[in-house]
Amino acid sequence: MTNLQVTAREKELILFMRELMWGDLKVRVENGEPVLIYEAIRTFKLGENKARELLRKTGGPRREPVGSAGYGP
């Protein structure tokens, strides 16, 4: 079995995904390594009042563009 090494960019991607918690993500990969997150979208299902509850728990939708957190252009 090969010893798997996780790169700094892979660690950063994992941390970003954990902060996102749920939603959709589009990632650019070059030479087998993540280099750019294009989109990070959280999706809420309507009709069960859970969307409003989740927004309250998470502090509302994020307004800053992905790039302002250091994860994009």
**Residue in the structure block whose two tokens are 């993500």:** 25
**β-bridge mates for residue 68, sequence order:** none
Report pLDDT for 62: 55
Break the chain into its structural domains and give their ranges.
8-67
Instruction: Using 70 as the pLDDT threshold, list the residues of the chain that sit under it.
Output: 1, 44-45, 48-52, 54-55, 57-73
Under a CB-based contact definition with an 8 Å cutoff, are residues 73 and 67 in contact? yes
What is the rounded distance in angstroms from the CA atom of residue 39 to the CA atom of residue 57? 22
Report pLDDT for 69: 47
Under a CB-based contact definition with an 8 Å cutoff, are residues 61 and 42 in contact? yes
Report pLDDT for 13: 93
Report pLDDT for 48: 63
Tell me the whole-structure pTM to 2 decimals.
Answer: 0.56
Distances (CA, A) of 53 to 18, 24, 47, 59: 19, 20, 12, 10
Report pLDDT for 21: 77
Report pLDDT for 73: 47
